[in-house]
């Protein structure tokens, strides 16, 4: 029944494919092609997908990237990563951004002791990644080359969706996992406060052999403390494939606006090239003001 509901929803939700003509990073990208990847809490959960120009799923199986928006696990939406998805599609990836269930303050207050509002977000993110892989044939992606990430709360959600073996939707296909080959994290909201709920605590689920990751932070971001603890844990485990890039003097969510949006996309692009998921040079020009990201040692 679930698959039938999705098929019907897709038929009337799909708009015309977005043009992939060149755009400046500070322009608002159009919506991608809309799919419903599941229903949770009685509502359809949507994913917008952007395709490379001329992409033929019957002939090409390219890497895919799926990004999750921020918003404190209670807000935000698909608009946040439209520009990034538009850009990565222009570079040859099938790029998606997905929404997820978020509890209201009243609903969160009803949760049992020890559970937080973040759990439902992670469960839906796992479903989104699995749906992306399950439909790899019709989307023209290689399910073994999926990249994920997100901004702030979305960065946290993407991490737990791939690193925590629990919090699965029982209706998800059991033969499809949520593993990925790389992470793109834009000031991910990791925090020591999550220690009270092990299911959402990044520190408990980090692994030495975690997929390569690139993370971006402003030096004045108060959330950076949580990232630093996670990064130190990774180093202590022997992980050497996680990169941190800093924007001097910038605070939280700096990556949402230029020149930093362009700079983080350029750096993410080069990271994917180094890892073999893209080829060639970034198609965005560095900002004229001379701003730079600095790689942390």
| pLDDT above 60: residue 25 | no
pLDDT bucket at 29, cuts 50 / 70 / 90: confident
Q: What's the confidence (pLDDT) of residue 28?
A: 73
CB 226 within 8 A of CB 189: yes
Instruction: Write 234-242 long-range contacts (CB < 8 A, 24+).
Output: 234/206, 234/208, 234/210, 237/206, 237/207, 237/208, 238/208, 239/206, 239/207, 239/208, 239/209, 239/210, 241/210, 241/211, 241/212, 241/213, 242/210, 242/212, 242/213, 242/214, 242/215
Q: List pLDDT tens digits, range 195-238.
A: 999 999 999 999 999 999 999 999 999 999 999 999 999 999 99
Q: Where are the domains of the chain?
A: 2-295
Residues of the chain above pLDDT 90, percent: 86
Q: List pLDDT tens digits, range 133-189.
A: 999 999 999 999 999 999 999 999 999 999 999 999 999 999 999 999 999 999 999
CB 176 within 8 A of CB 206: no
**CATH number attached to the domain at 2-295:** 3.40.50.1820
Q: What's the confidence (pLDDT) of residue 11?
A: 28
* Mean predicted lDDT score pLDDT of the chain: 91
């Amino acid at each position: 029944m679930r698959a039938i509901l999705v098929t019907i929803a897709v038929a009337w939700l799909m708009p015309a494919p977005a043009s992939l003509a060149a755009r400046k990073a500070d322009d608002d990208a159009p919506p991608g092609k809309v799919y419903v990847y599941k229903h949770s809490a009685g509502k359809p959960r949507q994913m917008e997908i952007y395709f490379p120009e001329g992409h033929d799923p019957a002939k090409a199986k390219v890497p895919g990237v799926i990004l999750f928006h921020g918003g404190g696990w209670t807000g935000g939406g698909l608009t946040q990563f439209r520009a990034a998805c538009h850009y990565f599609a222009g570079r040859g990836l099938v790029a998606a951004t997905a929404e997820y269930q978020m509890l209201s303050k009243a609903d969160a207050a009803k949760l049992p002791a020890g559970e937080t509002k973040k759990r439902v977000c992670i469960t839906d993110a796992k479903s989104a990644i699995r749906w992306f892989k399950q439909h790899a044939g019709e989307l023209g992606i290689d399910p073994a080359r999926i990249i994920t990430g997100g901004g702030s709360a979305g960065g946290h959600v993407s991490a737990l969706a791939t690193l925590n073996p629990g919090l699965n939707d029982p209706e998800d296909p059991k033969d499809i996992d949520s593993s990925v080959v790389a992470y793109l994290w834009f000031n991910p909201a990791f925090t020591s406060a999550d220690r009270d709920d092990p299911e959402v605590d990044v520190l408990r689920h980090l692994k030495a052999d975690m997929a390569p990751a690139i993370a971006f932070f402003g030096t004045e971001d108060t959330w950076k403390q949580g990232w630093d603890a996670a990064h130190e844990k990774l180093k202590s485990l022997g992980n050497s494939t996680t990169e941190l890039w800093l924007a001097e003097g910038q605070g939280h969510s700096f990556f949402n606006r230029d020149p930093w949006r362009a700079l983080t996309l350029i750096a993410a692009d080069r990271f994917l090239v180094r890892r073999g998921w893209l080829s060639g040079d970034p198609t965005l020009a560095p900002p004229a003001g001379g701003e730079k990201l600095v790689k942390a040692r």
